[in-house]
Each structure stands twice: as C-alpha cells, then as structure tokens.
C-alpha cells in the first residue's frame, strides 16, 4: 500500500510538472512530510527534480536536503548562492544539522556562506566544523542542558521553567562541576518522581559514560545500540562537556553504513543517485568494470594452459563454468558474514579463527553434498565416470577455497586500508575463478589426459 501511494504521488507530481501547475504541486507537497518529499526527489529524473526544488517551502528546505541522497543534495547546493544557503542554515535549529549542510559545500562557497551568518550562529557552527564529520564531535549538537550536583531537584525544576523549553529528544540532564567537567546524568523520570528537596548528587547516575569527541561514528552507533540510548553526552580531552548526540543522528549513521555495505558489494557508492548524469555514472561504474575485466583476463589466461585437454574432452568446456560459479556463491556468503561482523564490531582477532574454522566446515559439508549431485548429473549426461570424479573433487576444493577466502579477504583488505565492502567481491571472484579452473582442469589433465 505504501509503495502504491508513493507511485501515485510520483505520477501526480509528474503530471503537474508537465503542466507547469505550481498550485497543484504545492498542494501535493503540503500533504506529505519532509521524509516523503526527500524520497520523491530521489526518485524523480533530474529535469523534474530541478523544477520541483523551487516549490519546496523555505522552512523545510534544510531538512529535505538532509534527507535526500548526497548526490541529490550536493547537486542542489551547487545551484544555490551562498546567501541562499545561509538563509536555509538560519532556519535549522540544530547545529549538527547545519554542519551537515555546510560540509557538503566546496571550500570557497563554504567560507562565503559562513560570512553571511550572524556572529553567534557562525561561532557555534565553527565549533562543530572543527571535528571530522565521522566522529562524535561531527555528530554532536551543542544545545544541551547541564546542571550542578549540589542543588536540589526543586531548583532544577524552577530552572527548567525559566528556560521554557528543552532541546528535542532530551531524556536526561547532564551534571557538571563548576569547570564544566562531566560528572553524570539525571534522567527526567528521576527528576519528576523524587522529592523536590533531594539533591541532584543523591539520585544522579554516574554510570552513564560520555562519548569522547574523537570517537568514530561507528563506535558511537554501537554504544547507542548496546545501551539503548536516546541521547549521550560528548566530552573533550579534558573531560569537559561540550555537546550531546541524539538517536536520530545515530540512525542516519546506521542507515549510511547499511547503504554502504549494500552498494559496495556492487562496487558502487552509497551516495549514488539513481538519475545521475550518464557520463558520471559510466565513469564510476567503468572503473570497477575495468578491474573485473582484468580478473577475467587472468582467469582466461589460466584456462589457456589447459587448451589441449579442452580440445580432447569437449564435456569439460561445457561444465567449466559450474565450479567457479559455485565457489563464488559460497565465498560471497562467507564474505558478507565477515564484512557485517567487522562493521558491527562482532568480529576481531579473538574470534576470527573460530569463524574461519566454522566457514571451512560449512564449505566442506556443502562441497560434499553438491559434489555428489553434480557428479551424478555429469556421469548420467556424458556417460563418463572420470568427468564426474573430476568435477566433484574440483567442487569440494573450490567451495573450501571460497569459504576460506571469504573469511580472510575482509581482514586483509582492512589491514591494507582498503574498504572490504567495495573491493572484497572483486578479489573473491578472482580467487574462486582461478582456483576453480586450476582444480577442475588440472585434475582433468591428470585423470583424462
């Protein structure tokens, strides 16, 4: 039903755009939220997208830019002047969201945009921009509520009434000393359910660890997942409270990591725009097609060593694709498990050997089962017991190689500073193709030659 609604919305918007009916477009946009507007922009061809951007409410523009794919938002930001971008930033309440917009700008436009912001907002923004975007500092928002440990709950309540409002997703107040060093946290539920005369120090939680400002975003996401956090304090090198991270920012990190893994397996970027220009898309994909072509030539080169046996036994040429293909599938299953384990922090030096042993056992068991099936089929088809024996042995060998390679390749690539999600599949395919061909045709040369 949701997919049907989205498709109907796209059709209605497309009709209105073709008719240049801005009133109908505004009416359609007013009936949907920011997230659905961003999804709509991501799914429209670039020409229709360019016509739709100017019709989005200025107060929603910043949120929409954050929700769209990076390629889509980057393309729009390139079209805007610094004063227009500054106006968008001014409408956004959270400094971390403002930083996400500004960081997407080229250096010259970034500087011009900052100069057009008021002094206070620019100072706040620069404090966040000083940290890498993939760290806790880059994720944090400096709008947090801090209190002292030596005051009563009644004082805290009166302070909050004077303040008038709380930042979004506030579930706890952070306790600091007079020098802003982080001491602990006071949950709102404890504030509201205890005697107002009790001091903060009596009920505050000291077991709520703060995130270090240089902690990686993946570690932050892991902490939120393990501890079921809604918000968390961020401290600097001196353990001073400088901001907080909320779960909505962590959800974005998790989503980006998931997109990266899925797109990376195909050699694509998670920022890939479905309707990006043909030339740009061709260049991006062409790099990995070229790398894959080199590995295919390597496999073809290995086959060339067995030209004589292929000329003698035509059945081998018919069956030659089975062994590399089966090894590739088995290896990719293990590769996916290993990459996921590394991304989630579930896999490391302490348990890597256990994974390798397990995957080799799985590869061996599946190899035996499917070797018997393929061998029986080959013997019945070609009436040659030797061919069945050869392909069965080669299948077991290559499924073992695929399992071993799938488990080991991500670790090796990570140690080399190469992203396993992007390069792992290409390396694995090369291993299973070469090993499968050598095992199949090598044994065939010995048995049938």
Residue ending a domain, choose from 248, 267, 299: 248
Instruction: Mark whether 366 and 394 lie in a shared domain.
Output: yes
Neighbours of 51 (CB within 10 A): 17
Report whether 304 contacts 372 (CB < 8 A).
no
* Residue 214 burial (C-beta neighbours within 10 Å; 0-12, 13-18, 19+): middle
Would you say residue 265 lies in a domain? no
Instruction: Mark whether 107 and 156 lie in a shared domain.
Output: no
* Residue 419 burial (C-beta neighbours within 10 Å; 0-12, 13-18, 19+): middle
Residue ending a domain, choose from 198, 228, 248: 248
Instruction: Mark whether 182 and 242 lie in a shared domain.
Output: yes
Instruction: Mark whether 224 and 356 lie in a shared domain.
Output: no
Would you list the DSSP string of 178-235? TT-BEEEEEEHHHHHHS-TTSBHHHH-BS--PPEETT-BHHHHHHHHHHHT-SEEEEE
Instruction: Mark whether 353 and 323 lie in a shared domain.
Output: yes
Would you say residue 256 lies in a domain? no
Domain count, the chain: 3
Residue ending a domain, choose from 227, 248, 269: 248
Instruction: Mark whether 422 and 320 lie in a shared domain.
Output: yes
Residue for token pair 């690539």: 413
Report the CATH number at residue 105.
Answer: 1.25.60.10
At 9 the three-state DSSP class reads: helix
Question: What global pTM score does this model have?
Answer: 0.60
Which secondary structure element, helix H or strand E, spans residue 244, and what is its range? strand 241-246
17 φ/ψ angles, rounded to the nearest 5 degrees: -65, -45
Rounded Cα–Cα distance for residues 23 and 8 (Å): 18
Instruction: Mark whether 383 and 288 lie in a shared domain.
Output: yes
Would you say residue 266 lies in a domain? no
Report the CATH number at residue 168.
Answer: 3.10.580.10
Nearest-Å Rg of the Cα atoms of the chain is: 29
Instruction: Mark whether 282 and 427 lie in a shared domain.
Output: yes
Instruction: Mark whether 94 and 150 lie in a shared domain.
Output: no
Would you say residue 139 lies in a domain? no
Would you say residue 440 lies in a domain? yes
Report the CATH number at residue 293.
Answer: 1.10.357.20
Q: Which of 195, 95, 72, 180 is nearest to 143 (CA)?
A: 95
Instruction: Mark whether 225 and 346 lie in a shared domain.
Output: no
Instruction: Mark whether 187 and 286 lie in a shared domain.
Output: no
Domain range holding 19? 2-126
Would you say residue 427 lies in a domain? yes
Would you say residue 12 lies in a domain? yes
Instruction: Mark whether 76 and 218 lie in a shared domain.
Output: no
Would you say residue 140 lies in a domain? no
Which secondary structure element, helix H or strand E, spans residue 270, and what is its range? none
Q: Which of 87, 47, 53, 48 is nearest to 73 (CA)?
A: 53
Pairing relationship of beta strands 146-148 and 172-176 according to DSSP bridges = parallel
Can you say how many angstroms the Cα of residue 169 is from the centroid of all Cα atoms in its chain? Answer: 23
Residue for token pair 């769209």: 68
* pLDDT by position in tens, the chain (length 449): 355 677 888 888 888 888 888 888 888 888 888 888 888 888 888 888 888 898 888 888 999 998 888 888 888 998 889 999 999 988 888 888 888 888 888 888 888 888 888 888 788 888 788 888 888 988 888 888 999 999 999 999 999 999 888 888 899 999 999 999 999 999 999 999 999 999 999 999 998 889 999 999 888 988 888 888 999 999 999 999 999 999 988 887 877 766 655 555 555 555 555 566 667 666 766 676 677 668 777 877 788 788 777 766 778 888 888 899 898 888 888 988 888 788 766 777 778 888 899 999 999 999 999 999 999 998 998 888 888 999 999 999 999 999 999 999 988 988 888 878 778 888 898 999 999 999 999 988 888 76
* Residue 26 burial (C-beta neighbours within 10 Å; 0-12, 13-18, 19+): middle
Neighbours of 104 (CB within 10 A): 19
């Amino acid at each position: 039903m949701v997919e049907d609604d989205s498709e109907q919305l796209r059709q209605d918007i497309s009709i209105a755009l073709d008719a240049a009916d801005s009133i109908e477009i505004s009416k359609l946009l007013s009936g949907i939220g920011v997230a659905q507007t961003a999804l709509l922009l991501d799914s429209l061809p670039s020409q229709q997208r360019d016509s739709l951007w100017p019709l989005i409410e200025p107060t929603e523009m910043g949120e929409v830019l954050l929700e769209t794919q990076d390629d889509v938002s980057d393309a729009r930001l390139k079209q805007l002047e610094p004063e227009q971008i500054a106006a968008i930033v001014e409408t956004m309440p959270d400094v971390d969201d403002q930083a996400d917009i500004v960081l997407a700008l080229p250096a010259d436009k970034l500087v011009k945009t900052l100069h057009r912001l008021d002094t206070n907002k620019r100072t706040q923004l620069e404090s966040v921009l000083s940290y890498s975007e993939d760290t806790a500092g880059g994720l944090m928002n400096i709008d947090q509520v801090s209190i002292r440990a030596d005051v009563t709950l009644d004082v805290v309540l009166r302070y909050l009434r004077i303040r008038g409002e709380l930042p979004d997703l506030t579930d706890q107040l952070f306790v600091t000393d007079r020098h802003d060093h982080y001491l602990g946290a006071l949950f709102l539920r404890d504030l509201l359910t205890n005697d107002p005369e009790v001091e903060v120090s009596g009920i505050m939680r000291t077991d709520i660890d703060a995130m270090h400002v240089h902690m990686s975003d993946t570690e932050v996401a892991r902490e939120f997942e393990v501890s079921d956090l809604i918000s968390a304090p961020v401290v600097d090198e001196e353990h001073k409270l400088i901001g907080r991270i909320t779960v909505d920012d962590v959800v974005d990190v998790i989503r980006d990591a998931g997109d990266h893994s899925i797109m990376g397996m195909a050699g694509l970027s998670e920022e890939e725009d479905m309707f990006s220009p043909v030339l740009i898309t061709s260049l991006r994909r062409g790099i990995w097609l070229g790398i894959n072509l080199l590995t295919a030539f390597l496999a073809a080169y290995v086959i060339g060593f067995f030209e004589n046996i292929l000329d003698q036994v035509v059945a081998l040429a018919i069956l030659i694709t089975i062994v590399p293909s089966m090894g590739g599938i088995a290896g990719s299953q293990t590769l996916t498990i290993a990459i996921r384990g590394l991304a989630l922090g579930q896999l490391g030096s302490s348990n890597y050997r256990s994974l390798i042993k397990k995957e080799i056992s799985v590869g061996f068991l599946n190899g035996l089962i499917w070797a018997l099936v393929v061998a029986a089929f080959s013997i019945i088809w070609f009436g040659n017991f030797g061919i069945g024996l050869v392909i069965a042995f080669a299948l077991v060998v290559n499924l073992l190689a695929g399992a071993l390679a799938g488990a080991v390749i991500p670790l090796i690539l990570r140690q080399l500073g190469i992203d396993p999600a992007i390069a792992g599949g290409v390396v694995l395919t090369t291993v299973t193709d070469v090993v499968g061909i050598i095992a199949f045709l090598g044994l065939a040369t010995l048995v049938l030659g």
